[in-house]
Structure 1
């Protein structure tokens, strides 16, 4: 087996193994209709029901839009904040207690405040996504600034570079790997947060669809949406790796 094919073969074997365990679990609980509703053979009909109602693709689009909007806000806030903390010790000392406090608070803890401030709809969801994503971006930017070779800055200043030119030609290329790693980490965290966030009074999105399926006792549809969330998360992480490189 070639080195290129080995990861694909082993990954496929892992998926098959998980499917077998899934089938055994759902068929070993004889008489428990709730568990048997999660059986693998029910998933195709569940997907068919979701597509027939025309909700799945629209929910995916809404969730992805909220995710990207929250990430954009987190980047706009987190990168400048990370630059300021990394370059100026006074800013670091001034903001350290607040940053440490805020990043240790679960983003979902802000849910009641988000609903009170923004009402129901997409705005509180985007707010919670931004709250979850801003700290990985900020802290990775700080790490990039602190890893910067100060001699490069001195050379730029000696050559008469303006602050903007120094930022563009020295700082940004040097910290870019750190920032991109922070964005990828933030993407994973935000995708985990967006599902429970979409259970807060919204009428669209994958999180809402899970809640809706549960209320209708359509457990097979609920599991189908969970599978979509997991698959989309994998695709998003793969795309992030390719794009951020």
Structure 2
């Protein structure tokens, strides 16, 4: 990583921690989602264990949306985005660095918190390990998909709701294969690899397509 990219990454980490979707806010929201579910479905421990992976994934998806609307908006408001566009640097690399920093500040804490929160849902150790692994692989894809929505709504003052409407349908394939992988590990370890590898492929695809689409949207919004 070149010197300017490393400096940019450090700056983005600092901003991601301070602006809107800090690690503590995301984890607390994740905790709120997970703890509310048992009150809704009742004290059936077997039912909680069956739906546990889906609950954790839905909670991670919703927590990932926090702060995404500010991913590019702050740079656009203070003129940093225009300066970067005029500098001739790769806008796609900028998006990738911002997504990586945002994931490390907000997504990684969710992955770390998942094993603890899984205890509330009566998950077995194998299930906890499977869900944590799938979240580690899949949450970067959620961030990259969210970056596309954030770039499309960057010019809107209150684009948070529209961002959620845009991102959630695009994130459904990641959600499906993330939950399928965890369920497969619980019932039979053999078919675990098939949905898990598809989940890995989705993350790699979003790592390529996400920055390209986001950069194109940012260029369009600056015109």
TM-score, length basis structure 1: 0.33
TM-score, length basis structure 2: 0.36
Q: Which one has a bigger Cα radius of gyration?
A: 1
